[in-house]
Amino acid sequence: MDMVLIEGLEVRTVIGIYDWEREIRQSVRLDLEMAWDISKAGQTDNIEDTLDYKAVSKRLIDFVESSKFGLIEALAESCAKIVLDEFAVPWLRLKMSKPGAVRGSENVAVLIERGFQG
């Protein structure tokens, strides 16, 4: 199966379990691999024949910016559900990162796969 990728989509949101985290906006970063047959779009050169990664990105940005999750695990699950349900993506791998969440580390992240890879 072909893949459409979105890498390094950075969004600011309320995320975290500590009181101080509930009062600020922090950056999260999304990396997505989405199964999608791009062969028709490769032949027609028409946006209607492919997964519109701009529409996916905009939907996720809007959702994440307005969310207030405690855990990146819950935010990642909700983002995956949006992509699977609203864009008819059959399978995805989503990495949700929270840079600087642990002192001394560059990044912490969760990586999930949902749907069925064909």
Q: Choose the catalytic residue: 54, 68, 95, 98.
A: 98
pLDDT (tens digit per residue) in 41-77: 999 999 999 999 999 999 999 999 999 999 999 999 9
Question: What average pLDDT does range 98-106 have in this prediction?
Answer: 89
Q: Indicate the average pLDDT of the chain.
A: 96
Residue 83's pLDDT is 98
Q: Which of 70, 77, 104 is nearest to 92 (CA)?
A: 77
Assess whether 95 carries a catalytic annotation.
Answer: no
User: What is the rounded average pLDDT of the residues 107-112?
Assistant: 97
Q: Is the pLDDT of residue 118 over 60?
A: no
SS3 (DSSP) at 6 = strand
CATH number for the domain formed by residue range(s) 3-115: 3.30.1130.10
Domain ranges within the chain, ordered by starting residue: 3-115
Q: By three-state DSSP, how is residue 43 classified?
A: helix
